[in-house]
Amino acid sequence: MGGLNGYAATSSGGVVQAGVWHHLAGVYDGANASLYVNGVRVAGPTAASGFNLNTNAPFRLGATTIPNRTYDGWVDEAAFYARALSAGDIAAHYYAATTNNGGYAAQILAGHPLGYWRLDEPAYSAPAQSTLPVANNLGSLSPVGNGIYEPGSLPGVPSAPYAGFGADNLACQFIGAGYIGVPAAYLNFTGPLTVMAWASASPATGNFQTIISKGGTSYRLTMDGSGYPHFADGAQSVGDLVGPARVDDSQWHHWAGVYDATNSEFFYIDGQLVASTNSATAPVTGNGNDVLIGGDPDEGAFQLFNGIADEIALFTNVLSAAQIRQIFSSATDAPSLLAPVFSGMTLAGGSLSLSWSAIAGRTYQVQYKTNLEQTNWSSLITVGATNVTAAASDAAAFDRQRFYRVVLLPW
């Protein structure tokens, strides 16, 4: 791509952020070169003079034939085409990977959790198995953070019947007598944090029960003896955040607790904020406990869970209310919370104005086709929503007809 490299670093949003995956595409059409980042052209087309075939050097990933130009980072899904892809082709490739129709797991993994336990392992028979089965961590720390199904935790049961989990998704049943133990040397977080789970709790027994916990000086999702959900991180003077409605109804609920490492905590049930505080000012000290799913690791405080749990996720960053709603909706397929819907279209002075339902804080891209039989959509404009409605204009529609759609971009 020659001299376009430096331009790409300063165009369309600045440098490519370290630690974040980006989709890169370079195109040469025989005369001009273009560079795309995340489906959008950020440089070119620029005349590419001096191009010469090289039939001697090997094709390399992570390096060039020039010394001291090795790559320090991660690469995946590398592809090479003997033709120039169109802008529509490249946008389609990017959105095929990042579309919000990819399911619940894709939404979780898009947030780069360090720990993500789908609890999708099959059932096992203790007498026929010499070692206890592993609860695999699919987060970025994997295989660090793999757990062990201790006796009394029963993997292989059906999960919540939501399309977003995919066919034949499994969960783990807890019978008040076991838990999943996760060695926690790398999970002792004292900074910003989001902890998340799906749970179906049996009727309360009068005792505290735990969905996931690293103990009283760290993060935890629990249910009290009357069936009300709790979230806390550290020993805060204001106590736990407590939801206003019981969740011990044997129905599936999505739990999410957020701590900003300064003074604020937020607690969400089924995508809705149910409790918050700005008085969580006590520093989180953490501890050397293992993380227990279905129990509490503090000495003498096992608080074992009686119900079914699934899709446990742990992030070392603050997820926004919009992100949590999107994750919840990606499982339950609640379009009113997730999918953009056109609400208006007006034509005035040669400019077409579009508006649609939106989630504040999220980013949308307007795309168009001139013929519905075309395979790919062309990108028109990217819009950041500031409230429940977003809008954009198309002042250059010289085609005889255009068809529009709006895509919710990944976070």
Q: For the domain that residue 309 is a member of, what is the CATH number?
A: 2.60.120.200
Cα gap 96→115, rounded to integer Å? 25
Q: Are residue 282 and residue 403 in the same domain, yes or no? A: no
Q: Are residue 115 and residue 216 in the same domain, yes or no? A: yes
Domain boundary among 98, 126, 159: 98
Which tens digits make up the pLDDT trace of 286-344? 999 999 999 999 977 789 999 999 999 999 999 988 889 888 888 886 444 556 778 88
Q: How far is CA 283 from CA 118, 220, 234, 262, 291, in A?
A: 30, 15, 7, 8, 19
Q: Are residue 193 and residue 114 in the same domain, yes or no? A: yes
Q: Are residue 146 and residue 263 in the same domain, yes or no? A: yes
pLDDT of residue 129: 59
Nearest C-alpha neighbor of 313 from the set 177, 168, 145, 169: 145
Q: Are residue 176 and residue 323 in the same domain, yes or no? A: yes
Q: Are residue 177 and residue 65 in the same domain, yes or no? A: no
Q: Are residue 402 and residue 355 in the same domain, yes or no? A: yes
pLDDT of residue 63: 61
Q: How far is CA 69 from CA 66, 72, 291, 341, in A?
A: 6, 9, 42, 46
Domain boundary among 287, 305, 332: 332
CA angle at 168 for the pair 306 and 111, rounded to the nearest 5°: 80
Question: 3-class SS at 247?
Answer: coil
Q: What is the largest CA-CA distance in the chain?
A: 78
pLDDT of residue 247: 97
Full residue range of the structural domain in which residue 9 is found: 4-98
CATH of the domain at 359: 2.60.40
Residue type, 205: T
Element containing residue 98 per DSSP (H, E): helix 87-98
Q: How many domains does the chain have?
A: 3
CA angle at 81 for the pair 79 and 87, rounded to the nearest 5°: 95
**350 φ/ψ sector (left φ>0, alpha ψ -120 to 50, else beta):** left
- Cis peptide preceding 45, ω within 30 of 0: yes
pLDDT of residue 239: 96
Residue with tokens 């295989």: 143
pLDDT of residue 356: 87
Q: Are residue 61 and residue 126 in the same domain, yes or no? A: no
Average pLDDT, the chain: 82
With a CB cutoff of 8 Å and minimum separation 6, the contacts of 207 are: 225, 303
pLDDT of residue 226: 97
Q: What are phi and psi of 98, to 5 degrees?
A: -110, 5
Quickly count: other Cβ atoms within 10 Å of residue 148's Cβ.
16
Q: Are residue 30 and residue 125 in the same domain, yes or no? A: no
Q: Are residue 243 and residue 391 in the same domain, yes or no? A: no
Q: Which residues of the chain have pLDDT under 50?
A: 1-14, 96, 99-102, 334-336
Q: Are residue 358 and residue 315 in the same domain, yes or no? A: no
With a CB cutoff of 8 Å and minimum separation 6, the contacts of 187 are: 114, 115, 141, 145, 214, 291, 314
- CA-only gyration radius of the chain, Å: 25
Domain boundary among 332, 350, 385: 332
Which tens digits make up the pLDDT trace of 228-283? 999 999 999 999 999 999 999 999 999 999 999 999 999 999 999 999 999 999 99
Q: Are residue 359 and residue 328 in the same domain, yes or no? A: no
- 242 close to 269: Cβ distance less than 8 angstroms: no
pLDDT of residue 14: 46
